[in-house]
Amino acid sequence: MLQKCEGIVIRTNDYGESNKVVTIYTRELGKIAVMARGAKKANSRLSAVSQLFTYAHFLFQKGSGMGTLQQGDMIASWRIIKEDLFKAAHASYMADLLDKAVEDNKINPFLFELFLQCLSFINEGYDEEVICFIFEMKLLPVYGVQPVLDQCANCGETEGQFGFSIRENGLLCHRCAHIDDFRLRVSEQTIRLLRLFYVFDLSRLGTISVQDKTKQELRQVIRTYYDEYVGVYVKSRYFLEQLDRMKELLQEKKVEDDIRDEKGS
């Protein structure tokens, strides 16, 4: 039986000399895997539509086991993402988190729209790291975890100075700070953005600019929280962290060069 769906390729695996197993996150069917026969051949009609991040209408033959991809009508290839190492790394990490979070054939139109919006924003030139933070925060309920971000996780107060406690699963106000000596001491801006990223409607995203120090704090809180409460390992995160470190070193070098140039002038 032939079946059509709208979806985004989130994972590909080589199968034999010329075939690929393509994992697609679809609007209508959830996550599915299909065999793309001959897709590794340069002249294959399935070569382009079986690439990572490809957004298309797919037609596949459904059988008792894995379906067979017949054709794809491309909607978007996200060329800018594919041509930028940092954008591609963040998009890969998001795709891996999505892949780990959802079961096969479990339909979630909201989650499909979220991933689609995130890729679209990154491709349009929005800060890929900020978009990735938003995606990570919004994916937490899908993993079955919900940090306390609207009040102190211990006393329930909504006013005060807050830090983030991994142990207490959320914010700790200054009155309760003593119960966790290992709480993450972060800025008010970081706390505000954690709340915002978790609850706001991504379709209403306007221009957003986040300072590097705030990004570092967001990264620390979100990734540490994922390690403790989600517990998934994806190789793309390791690569992403290597790129983050490389970016920091380049920024440090630029600052040193600027200081040197000022002294020399």
Q: What is the largest CA-CA distance in the chain?
A: 74
Amino acid 265: pLDDT: 61
- 45 neighbors 70 (Cβ within 8 angstroms): no
Which whole number is the average pLDDT over 48-55?
A: 94
- Asked if the model's pLDDT at residue 230 lies above 90, the reply is yes
Tens of pLDDT, residue by residue over 69-126, are 999 999 998 999 999 999 999 999 999 999 999 999 899 999 999 999 999 999 999 9
Ordered by start, the domain boundaries in the chain are: 1-125, 144-232, 234-265
Amino acid 259: pLDDT: 73
Q: What's the sign of the alpha-carbon dihedral 212, 185, 93, 76?
A: negative
Tens of pLDDT, residue by residue over 150-172, are 999 999 999 999 999 999 999 99
Output phi, psi for 98, to 5 deg: -65, -45
Terminal Cα-to-Cα distance of the chain (whole angstroms): 74
Q: Which residues contact 28 (CB under 8 A, 6 or more apart)?
A: 5, 6, 107
- Asked if the model's pLDDT at residue 10 lies above 90, the reply is yes
Following DSSP, what letter does each residue of 66-121 receive, concatenated? SEEEEEEEEEE--HHHHH-HHHHHHHHHHHHHHHHHS-BT---HHHHHHHHHHHHH
> What pTM, to 2 d.p., does this model score?
0.91
161 CA to centre of own chain: 29
Whether domain 1-125 has CATH 3.40.228.10: no
Average predicted confidence (pLDDT) for the chain: 93
Amino acid 87: pLDDT: 96
Amino acid 59: pLDDT: 96
Amino acid 233: pLDDT: 87
Amino acid 188: pLDDT: 96
**% of residues, the chain, pLDDT over 90:** 81
- Asked if the model's pLDDT at residue 237 lies above 80, the reply is yes
* Better-scored residue on pLDDT, 250 or 122: 122
